[in-house]
Structure 1
Amino acid sequence: MTAVEAAPARRVSIGRATAVTALLTASGTSLGFVRDLVMAHQFGASGGTDAFLVGWTIPETVSSLLIEDAMALAVVPAVSLALHRRGHARAFVASALPRLAAVLAVAALLSALAAPVLVGMLAPGIGRPDDAVRCVRLTSLTILTFGVVGFMSATLRAHHRFGPPACIYAAYNTGILTMIAVFHEPLGVTSAALGVAFGSLLMIAVQAPVFARCLAPAHVPHRAALEGEAGRAAALGLAAIAPIVLWSLLRQGQVLVERFLGSSLSEGSISHLNYAERVAQAPVMLSLLLVAVTFPRLARATAAGDLTMVRRRMECDIVAVGGMVLCATAFVVAFAPTIITVLFEHGRFTGGDTQSTASIMRIYAVGLLAQAMVAVAGRGFFARGTPSWYPVSCVALGLGATAAIGVATVKGFGVGGLAAANAAGVSVSATLLLVGLRKRLAAISLRHVAHDLLTLAMAAAVATATGLLVHAGLADKAPPALVLPIGGIAVLAVYGTTLMMACACRGLTKARHAATAAGQDASPLELFCPLVIRSASRVISRFDRGKTSDPDTADAQSARQGAVGTDVPLGGAHQ
């Protein structure tokens, strides 16, 4: 066991771990918006940005595959199992990482060499194919670097080190912004592609110190142990990772379908789709930080065969993530034009670009809850560390629906039809996955989950209506930068109040039945006021230690010690 791993880990609640991770990730997301703003200011929505976005398809695809989904879903259970059995994961890392890097290096080289072919496949109608080829060749490096980044992030998360992985996108966007600032005049939009390559190297650098200290051994594992671990990793990993890889690629296929069909539309259409999707998906990415924090717990519960804990963990994650996404959806739908104006309407990004992007974003927002549910449910299936092909079939059917609807609507409705096809396809996938969770993994209560999500959706509908009224009243009377915070406060206040009132009403009914059974004559007001206060307290403390619906808390695990059983320390060797 390593010195770091042997040291007692500081116990931190899920809520605290998620909050700190969210703050660090928010800095990276903010820099991502700055990056998009700079791109819009310097290059607008033009044939040049369309060419860059063809190259951007590579890091966009491999980030989902190698950082956010497949790598984490495959490596976190494997490292957690190694920690549980041996107290350290050095043998697994030493056997798996070099092999992974070698395979990805070959893939990166092949991608760079085949750039002209890839451009022809991804965007056959692109107006500036030479620029697209250059961007593809530069961004091909991310196939290697993102793989290393994802492996490091998953290993650190399995060790309950969430700080460094949360910083990677801040480093990434810093690299892109630096290259644009230095080279935008001589290289044009190619400077952004150069920044992608440079930023991916910074992502490795920001995790390397803690990664090295986390795995520094108190003794060097025996060669036989390394070879045995390599054999077990290869035998298990190849079988388990295949469906995860396909699941991630098929999810990313939604974007590929849009860009393929959108390449036949007017110049700038792909850019409008990209800007709308990136802004709309930001709240989904932030809400899924909760799932990133709880996934190691889910993997341990699944490995232990504790189906009750798995069920409660999944139900809690579905409702919590759904609540955050629906609140954000209300804000996005109500204030879409102003959001795009503040973020992008500068330089060459015109008012017409704003209107087109905002209308697309409102359509995308319809599918945000479904996108979040696909991510949450998929993690439930893959937490077992064994092959599971059901999620692959669900996402494949959703992708087929997206392609069919997109082909049918692109000529008549343009980019709006493509956005609607995306929302419809991902909704098909989410529905199939949630139904499959109950039948194939754990007996989650679909009735209770659906009831909770319906309550959240009703609160979001009220908040959306309020936001639209606020937007209509302030749009022509206040600066856009002032409209957004006012609108955000209004939407959040109405959403929270409506939700607490709904929870209180549900509790009121139960309390009145209890009072009647006890022979007490309590007025509705006497029952209602404490219930409102109690509901607010329950929402605030939902994920705090000892007050979460998840039984897998620090207090519930006080008898289990060590790297796997302890709560989450947020990075740093001193922890």
Structure 2
Amino acid sequence: MSSTATDPAADAPAPGTSTHDVPVRPGRFLARAAGGAAGLTVVAALLGLVRDQAVARLFGASHASDAFLIAWTVPEMAATLLIEDGMALLLVPAFSLALTRRAAGGHTQDPVRVLIADTLPRLFAALACAGGLLIWGAPWAVGILAPGLDDPRLAVDCTRLTAVTVLTFGITGYFSAALRAHGRFLGPAGVYIAYNIGIIGMTLALHSVWGVRAAAAGVAVGSLLMILTLLPAFVRLVPGRRGKAAVRERGSGSALLGATVLAPVVLFVVSRQSQVFVERFLASSLPDGAISHLNYAQKVAQLPMVLSMMICTVTFPVVARAMAAGDREGARRRVERDLALAGTVVLLGTAMVLGCAPRIVEVLFQRGAFDAADTAATAGVMRVYALGLLGHTLVGGLCRPFFSAGRPTWYPLGAMGAGLLVTTAAGALLTGPFGVNGIAAANAVGISTAALLMLLGLGRRAVAVRTGAVALSLARPAAAAAVAAAAGRLATDLVPGPLPGLAAGCLAVPAAFLLAGFVLRMPEAVHLPALIRRRFPHGR
């Protein structure tokens, strides 16, 4: 948190600065922003489940669904690199620096406008070329991603349709980073609602004509809807032209996008997403449906991680501005609080997945071509995969302070590379005897290794967090999650029927988590009654 957080006078805008460029009091503002963004994320996640249900019902776990999911690797990588981690890690600090310089004044050109004029056209051209190359080279891409496919033609067709996301996701990510740096979080959180609506609509409308290619076309249409969702807000954000055309100005923020800063961020994100490549490479040699079982398990199990990451996403601009202002102590406090809260949220979700996985899959997917055998296989993978959710959340949360200072740092790439090596080696050893469960276990071990290395290196290289304090803040919710998972599993086994059993588990898990947390003196559980009384005082 920046030093202005404790100074009431610091909330006043600087001369010549618009009020929407200056954060309001971080505590209340960030809570509202995180709550609103989390609400939209939940809606998008529910639509994502509807999307996956549609694909599962129409195509089951088959060669067609596997072909689509191989093509799905393109938007998965593009989303991570261009919307979430990569673009955000590069552009939020750049826009934060530009906003800080705007507030300081004394510039002949608006630093924000200079940054946009200097970066957006070049980004558009580069991504358009990259997307065109991927369309042309789709057969080679599929051969690398899934060499075990007997007939890759359907996967190639789907990959060519999804390749448009290289451009559309890049523009969406640019708009999202700019809006987040300005304290606008609802629009970026809502883009996946438009995205999933596009996929669902195209799949349901055209599956009888195009087969699974309709879902791939929906990816392209949905990605265009994402841009249209953010375009009005971004246009209003861009300051009006002042005098001559914008020119490159020293310190505008574009220096933070140079090759020495760009390379470690891009390579880190690629290495992180490469875990998916390893998983699908290994699963392509297993019987048909293995890639689908892994995908459905990941999609559901990752929901708690997505919600927990909203905390770090909303506070990332705060950390970036604190680092730009030299407030290292404020940044440390903010990062420690974020890791503790995000870890608690994802551990509660982990308990839900471990306790209720079979009922969750049965309620969400078991219909049409997706049968009871698919449910059992997917639920087993989901439980194993959930063991790495805390590691995924910590990697996502820890990479932000590493890159928030806007200077070159290769340590996150080294940590992620080590985790990827562990994933690859463990996957090669475990896939044969354990199938997709072995792939999921390798993922959990690899990402947890990367998270541990990043936590140990953060204090010496970026923000001086107290490693012991962070570990202690996560140990108690981890113990509470183990108790809650056992309670959820017992409840789902005792109550007959898919929906009633899932409802019983959904009640038992959070109740057991809070009770165990209270016994263990977990701060979130201990202070919850006081927070409720403060929010809803008696008699109101």
Settle same-fold status: TM greater than 0.5: yes
CA contact (8 A) 1:2 1:215 kept: no
State how far apart, in whole Å, the 1-side matches of 2:170 and 2:405 are: 22
CA contact (8 A) 1:247 1:395 kept: yes
Greater shift, 309-318 or 59-68, is seen at: 309-318
Q: Is 1:53 aligned with 2:69?
A: yes
Q: Is 1:142 aligned with 2:165?
A: yes
- Please name the residue that 1:535 is paired with: 527
- Please name the residue that 1:422 is paired with: 443
Q: Is 1:291 aligned with 2:291?
A: no
Q: Is 1:180 aligned with 2:203?
A: yes
- Give the AA of the match of 2:189: A
- Please name the residue that 2:106 is paired with: none
Judging changes above 3 Å, is the alpha-carbon distance between structure 1 residues 8 and 236 closer, same or farther for their aligned structure 2 residues?
Answer: closer
Judging changes above 3 Å, is the alpha-carbon distance between structure 1 residues 186 and 320 closer, same or farther for their aligned structure 2 residues?
Answer: same
- Please name the residue that 2:329 is paired with: 308
From 17, 29, 37, give the equivalent of 2:53: 37
Q: Is 1:431 aligned with 2:452?
A: yes
From 469, 484, 504, give the equivalent of 1:486: 504
- Secondary structure of the residue aligned to 1:17 is helix
State how far apart, in whole Å, the 1-side matches of 2:474 and 2:256 are: 40
Measured after TM superposition, the shift of residue 494 of structure 1 is: 1.4
Within 5 A, what are the aligned runs for 1:210-359?
210-217=233-240, 219-220=241-242, 222-223=244-245, 225-228=246-249, 233=254, 236-359=257-380
- Please name the residue that 1:26 is paired with: 42
Within 5 A, what are the aligned runs for 1:473-552?
473-474=494-495, 477=496, 479-503=497-521, 535-537=527-529
From 166, 169, 179, give the equivalent of 1:156: 179
From 90, 93, 107, give the equivalent of 2:113: 90
CA contact (8 A) 2:131 2:165 kept: yes
- Secondary structure of the residue aligned to 2:258 is helix
Q: 1:311-370 CA distances to partner (integer Å, 9 max, x unpaired)?
A: 111110111011001101001001100101111111000110110000001000111001
Q: Is 1:456 aligned with 2:480?
A: no
Measured after TM superposition, the shift of residue 443 of structure 1 is: 2.7
- Please name the residue that 1:557 is paired with: none
Measured after TM superposition, the shift of residue 537 of structure 1 is: 4.3
Measured after TM superposition, the shift of residue 465 of structure 1 is: 1.3
Across the aligned residues of Structure 1 and Structure 2, the Cα RMSD in angstroms comes to 2.2
- Secondary structure of the residue aligned to 1:203 is helix
Measured after TM superposition, the shift of residue 439 of structure 1 is: 2.1
From 110, 132, 135, give the equivalent of 1:112: 135
State how far apart, in whole Å, the 1-side matches of 2:91 and 2:530 are: 34
CA contact (8 A) 2:98 2:252 kept: no
- Secondary structure of the residue aligned to 1:228 is coil
State how far apart, in whole Å, the 2-side matches of 1:282 and 1:66 are: 20
Structure 1 stretches of 5 or more lacking a match?
A: 507-530, 545-575
Measured after TM superposition, the shift of residue 501 of structure 1 is: 2.7
The TM-score, its normalising length taken from structure 1, stands at 0.85
State how far apart, in whole Å, the 2-side matches of 1:62 and 1:2 are: 37
- Secondary structure of the residue aligned to 1:128 is coil
CA contact (8 A) 2:311 2:342 kept: yes
The TM-score, its normalising length taken from structure 2, stands at 0.91
Measured after TM superposition, the shift of residue 485 of structure 1 is: 2.7
State how far apart, in whole Å, the 1-side matches of 2:62 and 2:212 are: 10
Measured after TM superposition, the shift of residue 261 of structure 1 is: 0.9
Measured after TM superposition, the shift of residue 107 of structure 1 is: 0.2
- Give the AA of the match of 1:66: L
From 220, 236, 241, give the equivalent of 1:197: 220
- Give the AA of the match of 1:327: L
Greater shift, 444-453 or 129-138, is seen at: 444-453
- Give the AA of the match of 1:90: R
Measured after TM superposition, the shift of residue 234 of structure 1 is: 5.3
Q: 1:129-156 CA distances to partner (integer Å, 9 max, x unpaired)?
A: 1110101100010000000000000000
Q: 1:228-282 CA distances to partner (integer Å, 9 max, x unpaired)?
A: 3699625743221211111111010111001001100100101111111111111
State how far apart, in whole Å, the 2-side matches of 1:63 and 1:424 are: 24
- Give the AA of the match of 1:147: G
Greater shift, 327-336 or 300-309, is seen at: 300-309
Judging changes above 3 Å, is the alpha-carbon distance between structure 1 residues 181 and 85 closer, same or farther for their aligned structure 2 residues?
Answer: same
State how far apart, in whole Å, the 1-side matches of 2:339 and 2:326 are: 20
- Give the AA of the match of 2:80: S
Judging changes above 3 Å, is the alpha-carbon distance between structure 1 residues 432 and 8 closer, same or farther for their aligned structure 2 residues?
Answer: closer
- Secondary structure of the residue aligned to 1:430 is helix
From 461, 469, 492, give the equivalent of 1:440: 461
CA contact (8 A) 2:54 2:204 kept: no
CA contact (8 A) 2:256 2:407 kept: no
- Please name the residue that 2:7 is paired with: none
State how far apart, in whole Å, the 2-side matches of 1:425 and 1:324 are: 21
State how far apart, in whole Å, the 1-side matches of 2:300 and 2:435 are: 20
- Secondary structure of the residue aligned to 1:90 is helix
CA contact (8 A) 1:115 1:137 kept: yes
Measured after TM superposition, the shift of residue 84 of structure 1 is: 1.0
CA contact (8 A) 1:370 1:426 kept: yes
Measured after TM superposition, the shift of residue 447 of structure 1 is: 1.7
Q: 1:390-443 CA distances to partner (integer Å, 9 max, x unpaired)?
A: 000000000000001111111111111111110010011000000001222233
- Please name the residue that 1:378 is paired with: 399
Larger radius of gyration: 1
Greater shift, 300-309 or 86-95, is seen at: 86-95
| Aligned-pair identity (%) | 46
